[in-house]
């Protein structure tokens, strides 16, 4: 009986040893072969680096805690009311913005200046993206599919040393856009011939791009001090994924880099504002605590 029990335990131990060896071998293969093969170029040289990237990017907060200056339906309604009062005619009877890709905005343009708070314009800009009205002004972002990009926040901080009559010529612009990464992950996996589970580990289902830059209208809209981060992480924590996205989303001829990507995303705001006319930054766009925004002249 003792001998029989010993044989049973021996078999159990052998089975466990085989299972452990298989897992260890699989881990070794991933650590030393698969991960470096596909990702060493981006600073991921083994499972330790991969786990570090995953831990960083997947510790993202909920949108409600990431977005500090959210807009509401009331902000959109207020923006539309201001446009109509200024002579703009861009709303269909069902309440949607009717200026599409094949229509001339000049047919709907107003004739009076209009002020928006940053929340009002964020709500308006998001509608323009979903409507496709900005698509032709954002050629580099078409690789991400512009209509899948959603504006979640805009914060404008005017530079009050650059005063000009009824506004300011410079400001810091911070904004957050959201995009579902499913198409991106599938595209990269196909282009890299990479197992999709590795991309699923590295790239979260939803990407929140936080962008910040200074803009100076007195120097033709020159931008400086640009930063970009993903899912509430730091610029440094986001760097590997940013480089990976740039490498496989944009064609080589675009010669895209991190600064170019910041500018491409930044065009969502600047092209969106310019869509309505010339603009300056103001600190009296609202009637309550949220005063910072834009003065647009058709």
Q: At what angle do helices 235-249 and 258-274 cross, to 10 degrees?
A: 80
Q: Residue 48: is its pLDDT beyond 70?
A: no
Q: Residue 16: is its pLDDT beyond 50?
A: no
Measured in degrees and rounded to the nearest 5, phi and psi for residue 205 equal -60, -35
- What's the whole-model pTM score? 0.80
DSSP code of residue 140: G
User: What's the number of CA atoms in the CB half-sphere (13 Å) around residue 77?
Assistant: 3
In the predicted model, what is the mean pLDDT of residues 124-140? 85
DSSP labels, 25-86: HHHHHIIIIIHHHHHGGGT--SHHHHHHHHHHHT-PPPHHHH-SS---HHHHHHHHHHHHHT
Looking at the chain, the whole-number percentage of residues with pLDDT higher than 70 is 72
Q: Which residue has the higher pLDDT, 15 or 48?
A: 48
The pLDDT value given to residue 246: 83
Confidence of residue 31 (pLDDT cuts 50, 70, 90): low
242-268 residue pLDDT tens: 887 887 788 888 888 889 999 999 999
Residues 94-102: contacts with CB under 8 Å, at least 24 apart: 96/127, 96/131, 97/127, 97/128, 97/131, 97/133, 99/128, 99/131, 99/133, 100/131, 100/132, 100/133, 101/132, 101/133, 101/135, 101/136
Confidence of residue 201 (pLDDT cuts 50, 70, 90): confident
d(C-alpha 251, C-alpha 11), whole Å = 56
């Amino acid at each position: 009986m003792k001998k029989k029990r010993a044989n049973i335990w021996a078999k159990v131990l052998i089975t466990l040893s085989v299972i452990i060896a298989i897992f260890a071998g699989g881990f070794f293969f991933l650590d030393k072969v698969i991960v470096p093969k596909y990702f060493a170029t981006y600073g991921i040289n083994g499972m330790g680096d991969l786990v570090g990237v995953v831990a960083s990017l997947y510790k993202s907060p909920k949108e409600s805690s990431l977005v500090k200056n959210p807009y509401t339906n009331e902000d959109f309604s207020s923006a539309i009311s201001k446009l109509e009062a200024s002579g703009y005619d861009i709303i269909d009877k069902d309440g949607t913005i009717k200026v599409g890709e094949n229509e001339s905005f000049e047919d709907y343009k107003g004739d009076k200046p209009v002020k928006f708070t940053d929340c009002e314009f964020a709500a308006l800009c998001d509608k323009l993206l979903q409507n496709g009205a900005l698509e032709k002004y954002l050629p580099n972002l078409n690789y991400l599919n512009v209509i899948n990009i959603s504006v979640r926040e805009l914060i404008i901080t005017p530079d009050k040393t650059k005063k000009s009559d009824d506004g300011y010529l410079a400001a810091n612009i911070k904004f957050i856009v959201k995009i579902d990464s499913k198409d991106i992950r599938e595209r990269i996996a196909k282009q890299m011939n990479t197992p999709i589970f590795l991309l699923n580990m590295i790239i979260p289902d939803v990407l929140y791009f936080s962008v910040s830059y200074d803009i100076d209208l007195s120097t033709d809209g020159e931008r400086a001090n640009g930063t970009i981060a993903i899912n509430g992480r730091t610029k440094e924590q986001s760097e590997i994924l940013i480089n990976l996205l740039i490498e496989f989303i944009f064609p080589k001829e675009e010669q895209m880099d991190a600064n170019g990507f910041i500018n491409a995303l930044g065009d969502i705001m600047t092209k969106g504002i310019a869509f309505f006319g010339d603009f300056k930054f103001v600190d009296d766009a609202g009637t309550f605590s949220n005063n910072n925004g834009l003065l647009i002249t058709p």
